[in-house]
Amino acid sequence: MPTIKELRKICQKSEYAPSWRTQSTEGRFNRIFSIYLTWLLIHLPIMPNQITAIGTIVYLAGAFLFVFNNAMLYALGLFLIFLSFVLDACDGEVARYKRLAQGGNIGGAYVE
């Protein structure tokens, strides 16, 4: 079982991962949290494109909550949208860990 430190090296500092300098502030912030969720996801039989689909559903659910005029639902909607951004980072990290992102495979980027 890899540690978080080992996962950061494999998933966030590989030649296929975006560099810290070229990534947006939001992307850098998401990477702080995404590695912990990635650690959980690599132990499940789930593929990166499935993570992308789940992230899309979570995003849409969060956006839908803004329809209601309720502060608690706004807060939950914001959390779900943030979670969808973290899941967006996780799909690439899982792909790099499972070696599905090698060889210039642009399939995952196309799904994005």
The pLDDT assigned to 79 comes to: 97
**C-beta separation of 45 from 59 below 8 A:** no
pTM of the model: 0.80
Domain 4-111 fold? Four Helix Bundle (Hemerythrin (Met), subunit A) (1.20.120)
The pLDDT assigned to 23 comes to: 65
**C-beta separation of 109 from 95 below 8 A:** no
Q: How many helices (H) and strands (E) does the chain have?
A: 5, 0
pLDDT band of 10, cuts 50, 70, 90: confident
Could you report the per-residue pLDDT of 21-71, keeping only the tens digit for each? 666 777 778 888 899 999 999 999 999 999 999 999 999 999 999 999 999
Q: Where are the domains of the chain?
A: 4-111
CB within 8 Å of 21: residues ≥ 6 apart: none
